[in-house]
Amino acid sequence: MTECSGDLRARRRMRTADTIRKAALRLVVTRGIDNVTTEMIAHEAGISLRTFFNYFAFKEEALMPPPIDFDEGAIACFNEGKGSLLNDVATLLLTQFEDVDEDRAQLRVLFELSQTHPKLVLVRDKAFQQYEEIICKLIAGRLKVAPDALRPRLMAACIAGAIKVAMSGWVRSSEGTAADHVRRALAALETLFSEN
């Protein structure tokens, strides 16, 4: 087994997972979440019900955004540290929110569902939790400290929280891009607690 094989299979897995995600989102958006069963999702994605659970631990997980992966160069650039840490984090993260606005309709639906449907609130927060862990490791790497040290953890918690607040405000307000909201929220962190 060469290294190529595992890579091929990994790709295939990701492609299938993405197919399922799209199918789930499509059904939920059109029919409403209460009228969508895992069986429907599986059928829509062209797989068996059983296979669905090979990819996702539970139904709602198919509605979570897929794990993010940054550009290698961007991470290296971030680790060198050109400006203030907060600025550099913002620069790195904002690349993720540039093209969000195309899917604004779907994202808005998801966030709105999150506010009414209890289980989706849980799912949304779990997604941000994973996001927080990634940010924590990035910051720890740049500060050259352990990932479970207090500072990187606190910073990551605040940054992830700010992004959540920003996205939440974005889907409500409808003015400005997602990136705008995130940028503003992150900028506000710097003097949040030090100015009064």
Partner DNA sequence: TGCAAATTTTGCATAGCACGCAATATCAAC
Partner DNA sequence: GTTGATATTGCGTGCTATGCAAAATTTGCA
Which residues fall within 8 angstroms of residue 40, CB to CB, at 6 or more apart?
Answer: 27
Contact flag: residue 116 with DNA (CB under 7 A): no
Of the candidates 26, 28, 182, the one whose C-alpha atom is nearest the C-alpha of residue 112 is 28
How far apart are CB 159 and its own copies at their closest, in Å? 9
Contact flag: residue 119 with its own copies (CB under 8 A): yes
DSSP assigned state of 66? P
162, amino acid identity: A
Of these partners, its own copies, DNA, none, which one is at the site of residue 137 (CB under 5 to 8 Å by kind)?
A: none
Q: Which of residues 27, 28, 93, 123 is near its own copies by CB under 8 A? A: 123
Contact flag: residue 126 with DNA (CB under 7 A): no
Contact flag: residue 193 with its own copies (CB under 8 A): yes
Three-class SS state of 1:
coil
Contact flag: residue 47 with its own copies (CB under 8 A): no
CA distances from 138 to 19, 54, 69, 122, 142 (A): 29, 30, 12, 25, 6
Stretch that binds its own copies, among 7-15, 25-33, 67-75, 128-136 (CB under 8 A): 128-136
Structure-block tokens of residue 11: 């790709």
Q: How far is CA 191 from the centre of its chain?
A: 26
Stretch that binds DNA, among 55-63, 83-91, 123-131, 149-157 (CB under 7 A): 55-63
Element (H, E) at 187: helix 178-189
Stretch that binds its own copies, among 27-35, 39-47, 100-108, 147-155 (CB under 8 A): 147-155
Residues that bind DNA (CB under 7 A): 1-5, 8-9, 12-13, 16, 36-39, 47-51, 53-55, 57-60
